């Protein structure tokens, strides 16, 4: 039998040996920090790293957006803006962008009236000399509803032999605050690629440089009429615009109109079929 002092010394050594072995075993079995799986970088808290190591990378599973329409048959895609549904109702995208909600057109009540469509921009001369077939006027709706313009005439009474006039013969609906252009020619090569909806007088030199009148009529109704003077600062290829931030009441004050700055084609300035926001009211 061991003396009491030797017994306690042996027991202490054995206890330390067992404790050390357990510690070493625990360290060997714990995963390395680099193998720990990151949970989330957003407010991770105390367990930013999970304790369960990942055995292998998880592959990415491809998903499909069922609403995108990118890979669906054409027949399953939403109808384009301005198309007719099976009931014959003309619809347009009246909702927010990408909403996919189509709403019926809301037409202005009653017949077309004075002030519903007005002249807002003019290219009086596109180049020097005679035979100028690149002139145009822009007409803009003042209404927040759709307008039916079939039968509308746009005239310039100072034609060489008679009044230059064009009448809208097709079933044309003008969008709220929308615009269209009447030009000498509908040929982009001649009107210098005016964008958007274009009707044509089919004549050259319609807008006279020394002053003229542009009248917009529907039957006996004069929807708009502007008479411009002989300007001393006309620049060939540069339109004259009524600024979009000017009140309608001052449109007949020609000091409020301005030569334009934005280019719509190489060498030609103006904003046909676009907002006149490149010029400011003064």
d(CA 122, CA 79): 36
d(CA 19, CA 64): 56
d(CA 185, CA 199): 8
User: pLDDT tens digits, residue range 104-139?
Assistant: 899 999 999 999 999 999 999 999 999 999 999 999
Average pLDDT score, the chain? 76
User: Can you give the pTM of this predicted structure?
Assistant: 0.65
**Whose CA is closest to 92, among 84, 149, 144?**
84
Both tokens assigned to 158: 């100072």
Which residues is 276 bridged to in the sheet?
none
Phi, psi of 134, deg, nearest 5: -110, 15
**pLDDT of 212 higher than 50:** yes
Query: Which of 18-27, 98-107, 258-267 holds the top average pLDDT?
Result: 258-267
117-269 sits in which CATH class? mainly beta
Helix (H, G, I), strand (E, B) or coil at 219: coil
- Residue 239, C-beta contacts closer than 8 angstroms, at least 6 positions apart: 121, 122, 123, 259, 260, 269, 270, 271, 272
**Whose CA is closest to 122, among 14, 223, 254?**
254
Residue with tokens 């822009």: 138
Instruction: Look up residue 53 and give its DSSP letter.
Output: P
CA atoms within 13 Å, Cβ hemisphere of 35: 10
The answer to whether 169 and 233 have CB atoms below 8 angstroms apart is no
Predicted local distance difference test score (pLDDT) of residue 162 = 85
Predicted local distance difference test score (pLDDT) of residue 114 = 98
Tell me the residue ranges of DSSP E strands in 62-116.
91-92, 103-104
d(CA 249, CA 171): 30
Both tokens assigned to 78: 């939403």
User: pLDDT tens digits, residue range 43-93?
Assistant: 444 443 344 444 443 333 333 333 333 323 333 223 333 333 333 333 333
What is the H or E stretch that residue 9 is in?
helix 4-29
d(CA 16, CA 263): 89
The answer to whether 155 and 163 have CB atoms below 8 angstroms apart is yes
The answer to whether 91 and 105 have CB atoms below 8 angstroms apart is yes
**Domains of the chain, residue spans:** 72-105, 117-269
Classify residue 45 as left (phi > 0), alpha (psi -120 to 50) or beta.
Answer: left
The answer to whether 200 and 183 have CB atoms below 8 angstroms apart is yes
Predicted local distance difference test score (pLDDT) of residue 282 = 86
**Whose CA is closest to 201, among 193, 189, 191, 212?**
191
């Amino acid at each position: 039998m061991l003396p009491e002092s030797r017994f306690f010394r042996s027991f202490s050594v054995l206890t330390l040996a067992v404790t050390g072995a357990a510690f070493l075993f625990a360290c060997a079995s714990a995963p390395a920090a680099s193998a720990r799986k990151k949970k989330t970088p957003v407010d991770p808290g105390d367990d930013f790293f999970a304790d369960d190591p990942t055995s292998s990378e998880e592959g990415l599973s491809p998903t499909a957006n069922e609403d995108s329409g990118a890979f669906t048959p054409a027949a399953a895609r939403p109808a384009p803006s301005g198309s007719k549904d099976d009931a014959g109702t003309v619809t347009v995208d009246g909702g927010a962008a990408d909403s996919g909600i189509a709403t019926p057109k809301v037409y202005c009540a009653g017949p077309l009236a004075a002030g519903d469509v007005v002249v807002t921009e003019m290219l009086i001369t596109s180049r020097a000399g005679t035979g100028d077939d690149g002139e145009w006027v822009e007409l803009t709706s003042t209404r927040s509803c759709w307008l039916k313009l079939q039968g509308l005439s746009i005239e310039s009474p100072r034609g060489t032999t008679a009044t230059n006039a064009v009448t809208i013969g097709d079933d044309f609906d003008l969008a709220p605050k929308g615009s269209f252009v009447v030009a000498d020619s509908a040929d982009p090569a001649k009107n210098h690629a005016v964008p958007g909806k274009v009707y044509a007088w089919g004549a050259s030199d319609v807008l006279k440089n020394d002053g003229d009148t542009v009248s917009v009529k529907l039957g006996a109704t004069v929807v708009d009429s502007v008479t411009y003077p002989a300007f001393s600062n006309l620049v060939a290829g540069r339109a004259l615009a009524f600024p979009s931030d000017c009140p309608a009441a001052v449109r007949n004050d020609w000091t409020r109109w301005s030569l334009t700055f934005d280019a719509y084609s190489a060498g030609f300035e103006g904003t046909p079929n676009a907002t006149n926001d490149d010029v400011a009211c003064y």
